[in-house]
């Protein structure tokens, strides 16, 4: 691989003939295979990272707000679909069982942070009912998820 053998210089006049030369091992590391493996792993993680997001399809409203800073623990995601279904992470939860399910989840988590994703076509009343259920379930740190690039409400824009 990278270890070879180099002839050792004797320091004197060279002998000609069939004499046996002394050799010493080459002490260099070939880093090319290491770099190749690291580049392949980098590409694999770059491709796989976007696939690890919560996969409930929702048409989010667009706003000019910036993203929330990251946290150590992945926040809980509650989604309200266009049909009015409520999903905690990717599991559908009936409205009557939402508060009890949220209380059970809150008892197991260290963080009270939750992201609320709601389709833009659902009534505002349903969003507020789910936010009330989140508060009753023990989650007081609610972040509303939107798509960026929406309209701004200032005079300059």
* CATH number for position 82: 3.30.420.270
Domain assignment of residue 45, yes or no: no
- Residue 4 scores a pLDDT above 60: no
Domain assignment of residue 119, yes or no: yes
Domain assignment of residue 150, yes or no: no
CA pair distance 18, 15, nearest whole angstrom: 9
Element containing residue 104 per DSSP (H, E): helix 98-108
Q: Is residue 62 within 8 Å of 144, Cβ to Cβ?
A: no
Instruction: Provide the pLDDT for residue 153.
Output: 72
| More confidently predicted of 7 and 150 | 150
Angle value at C-alpha 141, between 58 and 119, nearest 5 degrees? 15
| More confidently predicted of 56 and 147 | 147
Instruction: Provide the pLDDT for residue 8.
Output: 56
Domain assignment of residue 7, yes or no: no
pLDDT digits (tens, 9 = 90+) for 45-58: 888 877 766 566 77
Q: Name the residue range of residue 110's domain.
A: 76-145
Domain assignment of residue 108, yes or no: yes
Taking residues 146-150, report their average pLDDT: 75
Q: Scanning the structure block, which residue is given the tokens 């091992």?
A: 25
pLDDT digits (tens, 9 = 90+) for 117-127: 988 888 989 98
pLDDT digits (tens, 9 = 90+) for 16-66: 556 567 777 777 888 888 899 999 999 998 888 777 665 667 777 777 777
Q: What percent of the chain has pLDDT over 70?
A: 76
Number of H helices, E strands in the chain: 3, 9
> What is the count of structural domains for the chain?
1
Q: Is residue 67 within 8 Å of 144, Cβ to Cβ?
A: no
- Residue 73 scores a pLDDT above 80: no
Domain assignment of residue 101, yes or no: yes
| More confidently predicted of 38 and 156 | 38
- Best CA proximity match to 117, nearest among 88, 156, 153, 74: 88
State whether residue 129 is helix, strand or coil.
Answer: helix
CA pair distance 88, 110, nearest whole angstrom: 17
pTM: 0.53
């Amino acid at each position: 691989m990278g270890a070879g053998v180099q002839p050792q210089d004797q320091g004197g006049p060279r002998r000609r003939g069939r004499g046996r030369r002394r050799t010493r091992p080459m002490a260099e590391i070939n880093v090319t295979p290491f770099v190749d493996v690291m580049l392949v792993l980098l590409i694999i993680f770059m491709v796989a990272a976007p696939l690890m997001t919560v996969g409930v399809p929702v048409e989010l409203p667009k706003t000019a707000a910036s993203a929330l800073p990251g946290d150590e623990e992945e926040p809980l995601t509650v989604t309200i679909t266009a049909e009015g279904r409520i999903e905690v992470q990717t599991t559908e939860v009936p409205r009557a069982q939402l508060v009890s399910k949220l209380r059970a989840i809150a008892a197991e988590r260290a963080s009270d942070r939750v992201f609320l994703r709601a389709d833009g076509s659902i009534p505002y009343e349903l969003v507020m009912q789910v936010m009330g259920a989140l508060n009753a379930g023990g989650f007081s740190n609610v972040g509303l998820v939107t798509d960026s690039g929406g309209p701004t409400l200032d005079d300059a824009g």
